[in-house]
Chains A and B, each alone.
Chain A
């Protein structure tokens, strides 16, 4: 499989803390990679580094075989889509207008290619019915679908989503993750940060478990979600039920 996103030995330190320390990651087309870890482990920081939104102190990043550092912002944006943790919208846009913003890197929202991409993204995320409604009037689940449609309208090869299932009910979480899985099946590379371990177990091909900005474990779901690693990272007694791909917490958090 083609490696679309390559990161090696990434370091990012702020005056307050080490945000990311020596993290390497390769993401291939067709893969869904989940980044998990406790609060403050550095999941969002790593995603920002991968998205090229943050300079790293050292390390190398490549997108579709080209160094990210030398890439023009618009060229990068055409290849990589990023969904931030709590997407904001400052003006009273309609759903259609929000999704059209996804074509900004291409500058063709009014031309045939852009119009077709926007229509396809609206249909794919099942938001066509309320395309003319105000974004602010939607429920949280609907808003997330619209944001995903905005992401897909740009037709990037790599999708990075920071906790796309946060504040969604289980059914909406499933919808969002199923949609991201579909993108991987269509040949895109997907990286998501997740808090819910069962969601991570069910929808990701590989996991990266972070703690204090470092990789505690990485690999297949069963290799990462072991009782020992879960105890070390989250201070919980938990295990993965492989038959149902569910992480079961056995006892209250450890002292």
Chain B
């Protein structure tokens, strides 16, 4: 059953991606727009499809897949079901460094500086958390460490934002931090894609090591998978994914937490297998959420990050209660 379900999940991703092309404030005939694009003839429908909908749908797919695989990898690495990039402050640290690059205007000098800064921020946070979990083992210590890191980096980000040159720049940065894939272009896709592909490939190559880690570090080493050999690959993999996702779509929370939990009953608890499932799972969730924010009637479109937080917050509390009752 589980083997058959993976292609079905990819099929769902394809359907949701096509739905993303149809949904939007302007009503267009997607087929006509596509035909115009292929024939290279200018039309409003083609511009909307090419400049707005396709980049948005691609970024929703890529961001969702990246966040979910990073969450699954972090949960496997830290052997903790509550680990996820945003709850542990990884996304926020990435955002802090990205905001610094934006603030100083360095992103204008070279396109790769923004994702690189976000990537370095994410790597720094994962490294810090790994050190902390060695000194303070246990779920609660990890969550508290994540909380502290989130509070610190959020405060520093707000501090940096308070020096914004004008209210417009402040608003732009604020909305970017809330997390969204709206108003992006294909160049954003081009910036994020190489990092996400590299990051995902690195994480997928650690599948067996994460399976072995289920039995603890010593047993994993005895099975031929010493953590020291895979630690950097995992850190760089998570950093590439989170750095790229944050650089182009801000902080979209809870995807890395929710998706692995939803998929475990379907694909089994093996962290290695979960990585493969998280890619389409995360893509499907973010595509669906982004389609929903466009369908909600409001004067201004609801931010994607706000919706995932609205869904993820109660989910997180439910998980905590479930963990408590299992003890």
Chain A interface (Cβ < 8 Å from any Cβ of B): 48, 51, 53, 72-78, 80-84, 87-93, 97, 101-102, 104-105, 107, 154
- B225, A104: Cβ atoms closer than 8 Å: yes
Residues of A within 8 A of B270 (CB): 91, 93, 97
CA distance A97 to B214 in the complex (A): 11
- A91, B222: Cβ atoms closer than 8 Å: no
Return B71 CB to nearest CB of chain A, in Å: 15
Task: Name 16 A/B residue pairs within 8 A (Cβ), A-sorted.
Answer: A53-B222, A72-B224, A73-B226, A77-B222, A82-B219, A87-B219, A88-B216, A89-B214, A92-B264, A92-B269, A97-B268, A101-B211, A101-B215, A104-B224, A104-B225, A105-B223
Q: Does B247 contact A (CB under 8 A)?
A: no
Q: Does B170 contact A (CB under 8 A)?
A: no
Residues of B within 8 A of A83 (CB): 219
Q: Does B64 contact A (CB under 8 A)?
A: no
The 8 Å CB contact of A90, one of B208, B214, B264, is B214
- A84, B208: Cβ atoms closer than 8 Å: no
Residues of A within 8 A of B80 (CB): 90
Q: Does B152 contact A (CB under 8 A)?
A: no
Residues of B within 8 A of A72 (CB): 224
- B214, A101: Cβ atoms closer than 8 Å: yes
Return B285 CB to nearest CB of chain A, in Å: 21
Q: Does B191 contact A (CB under 8 A)?
A: no
User: Nearest chain-B residue to A136 (Cβ)?
Assistant: B326
Residues of A within 8 A of B213 (CB): 90
Chain B interface (Cβ < 8 Å from any Cβ of A): 79-80, 208, 211-216, 218-219, 221-226, 229, 264, 268-271
Return B123 CB to nearest CB of chain A, in Å: 24
- B269, A82: Cβ atoms closer than 8 Å: no
Residues of A within 8 A of B219 (CB): 82-84, 87-88
Residues of A within 8 A of B223 (CB): 77, 101-102, 104-105, 154
- A87, B216: Cβ atoms closer than 8 Å: yes
Return B271 CB to nearest CB of chain A, in Å: 7
- A51, B222: Cβ atoms closer than 8 Å: yes
- B218, A84: Cβ atoms closer than 8 Å: yes
Given contacts A91-B269, A93-B270, A104-B208, contact A77 B218 (CB under 8 A): no
Residues of A within 8 A of B226 (CB): 73
CA distance A107 to B208 in the complex (A): 8
CA distance A29 to B117 in the complex (A): 56
Return A143 CB to nearest CB of chain B, in Å: 12
CA distance A43 to B120 in the complex (A): 43
User: Nearest chain-B residue to A93 (Cβ)?
Assistant: B269
Q: A82-B222, A97-B269 are in contact. List 13 more A-B contacts (CB 8 A).
A: A72-B224, A76-B224, A77-B222, A81-B222, A83-B219, A84-B216, A88-B216, A90-B213, A90-B214, A91-B269, A93-B270, A101-B212, A101-B223
The 8 Å CB contact of B211, one of A78, A82, A104, is A104
